[in-house]
Amino acid sequence: MLFLGFSAGLPFLLVFSTLNARLADVGVDTATIGFFSWLGITYSIKVFWAPVVDRLRLPVLDALFGKRRSWILLAQAGIATGLFLMASVDALAAPETLALCGLLVAFSSATQDVAIDAYRIEIAQERLQAALAATYIFGYRLALLVAGAGALYLAEFWSWQVSYQVMAALVGVGALTVLVIREPEVNHFAAAEDIAGQVEEEARKRGHLPRGLARFTGWFYAAVAGPFVDFFRRYRELAVVILLLVAVYRISDIAMGVMANPFYLDFMGFSKTQVADVTKVFGFFMTIVGSMVGGVLVVRYGVRRILLAGAIMTAGTNLLFVLLAQQPPNLATLAVVVSADNLSGGIANVALIAWLSSMTSASFTATQYALFSSLMTLPGKFLGGFSGMVVAGFGYAEFFLIAGLMGIPAILLVLYLMRNGARLDSLAPAKN
């Protein structure tokens, strides 16, 4: 999971901030750079093609490597190809071509995320999911350093072409990992085949469809509707509460993060170097520590208790920023607050990933987890768009207070689910 996490994190910045730095460095206008941010939409809508990853067996590759590993390898091939093409494209002369190559990388990267998440959930028992998630996050964060600072160093001392070629070569880390790991021993098709058979039978009887078209109708319904039918049928009215918690759990954290850098630079007056030292160095290590601690705590005390602790800590650290906004600038105080924020974020993130992983069905792992992962970021990103208006109208201290209060619904929903813990456990799907 360490190396698969590295493979998942590597392409992310190469189609975001690192790509933006490349475009600005060669003189691409800011309006065009802004349009490149649309590449990130692929990560938020991956749930739409996750059913294909769940249900389609890749010709030849599936027989050689199995369903999960074959999809990961195919996605990695797309990432490496896209990065290699991006290395050779003149960003100033052909921005459209660069955007198409970036789209190949982003689409393949989002597909790889779907397949790796499914692999992680299926390869081990629920009690180990937090440890796997913590190790995955560690590898992901290391990849962000390589694709961020590492790519910039390569571009500075050699060129952007060399930088992206090296990044394309590093995709081999994930590919080699896939070649040596084993395929999960999970029945991916049991429930889906049952649904497909029922729909096929009904389509032939009521719709008088030809056999081939009826079979495709059953397959398509099982692939697209099956994961959602399975989820709502299994959890009934608790399904709505679960989805609400997924949607609001990270709102406080994401909304606050939008205004973090402007707060450090414009309001507090810290230099770019000081902000980079504190947020990158302390932030990186404290997130890793938080992830590891979260993994241990989940194994020791159970996922729902740590889910509650993570929600409380995330909201609480936002209140620390309220105090920070009312104090004169002090680098040591900033380091303490940022460290606490990243520590709590690491614990909360591991607990959330482990909890979501425990609720996916083996027959629809990729699609159901893609639904969760898309839902847990979209509301926060949407509300984060209004954060500048709140700061302009009220101020930073008030904004951080509001961001902290936005964490209360998550705390209440976790408490409600804890009261229904026995029922949730009885409804949880078997993974093997």
What mean pLDDT value characterizes the chain?
A: 81
CA atoms within 13 A on the CB side of 153: 8
Longest dimension (CA), the chain: 76
How far is Cα 93 from Cα 91, in angstroms, rounded to an integer? 6
Comparing 1-180 with 236-427, is the CATH topology the same?
Answer: yes
Highest-confidence segment of 34-38, 129-133, 167-171:
167-171
Instruction: Kindly tell me if the per-residue pLDDT of 137 is higher than 60.
Output: yes
List the single range of 90-99, 267-276, 326-335, 407-416 with lowest mean pLDDT: 267-276
Whole-number percent of the chain with pLDDT over 70: 82
pLDDT, tens only, 293-305: 888 888 888 888 9
Where do the domains of the chain lie? 1-180, 192-225, 236-427
35 burial level (CB within 10 Å; 0-12, 13-18, 19+): exposed
Tokens coding 45:
């809508």
Instruction: Kindly tell me if the per-residue pLDDT of 192 is higher than 60.
Output: no
pLDDT, tens only, 196-217: 555 555 555 555 556 666 666 6
pLDDT, tens only, 104-118: 999 999 999 989 988
Report phi then psi at 268, rounded to 5. -85, -25
Instruction: Kindly tell me if the per-residue pLDDT of 158 is higher than 80.
Output: yes
Q: What is the pLDDT of residue 409?
A: 93
CATH of 1-180, one of 1.20.1250.20, 1.10.340.30, 1.20.120.160, 3.40.50.300: 1.20.1250.20
CATH architecture of 236-427: Up-down Bundle (1.20)
List the single range of 228-242, 349-363, 364-378 with lowest mean pLDDT: 364-378
Highest-confidence segment of 103-107, 141-145, 193-197:
103-107
How far is Cα 226 from Cα 221, in angstroms, rounded to an integer? 6
DSSP state of 46: G
Mean pLDDT of 111-137: 83
Tokens coding 378:
């979209």
Tokens coding 381:
């990103």
Higher pLDDT, 363 or 369: 369
Residue 75 banded pLDDT, cuts 50, 70, 90? very high
Q: CA nearest 179: which of 85, 77, 46?
A: 77
Q: What is the pLDDT of residue 204?
A: 56
